[in-house]
Amino acid sequence: MCLAIPGKVVEVFQDRGLRMARVDFGGTVKKACLEQLPAAGLGDYVLVHVGFALSVVDPAEAERTYRFLEELGQLDEIRMPEGPA
């Protein structure tokens, strides 16, 4: 929970009034809430922390950060399975 992780928005959808996204973190796709980042849309790279997108980030930097976090072994928690939407 300490680190925010960048990922790519691959789908935007509504979940009973909440604007949500599916975000691809290097192959692991997880849901994230876009309510705090209305500007984010399909194809954007966003920084996600505890299930919320916080900022739109530069794609190349997102990729590098992701690799860096992978080196540090910090990506385990996003690889945990999650329940249905």
Partner 1 sequence: MKYLDEYRDGRVAAKILSEIGRVTTRPWTLMEVCGGQTHSIVKHGVDRMLPSQIELVHGPGCPVCVTPLEQIDKAHAIARRPAVLFTSFGDMLRVPGSHTDLLRLKSEGADVRIVYAPLDAVRLAQEYPDREVVFFAIGFETTAPANALAVTRAKELGVRNFSMLVSQVLVPPAIPPSCSPPVIGYRASSVRGTSVR
- Min CB(42)–partner 1 separation in Å: 18
CA distance linking residue 60 with residue 76, whole number of Å: 22
Q: Pseudo-torsion of CA 3, 13, 36, 63, nearest 10°? A: 40
Residues contributing to the site for partner 1 (CB under 8 A): 1-4, 16-18, 30-33, 35-36, 47, 49-52, 54-58, 61, 64-65, 68, 72, 76-78, 80, 82-83
Nearer to partner 1, 10 or 18 (CB): 18
- Min CB(1)–partner 1 separation in Å: 4
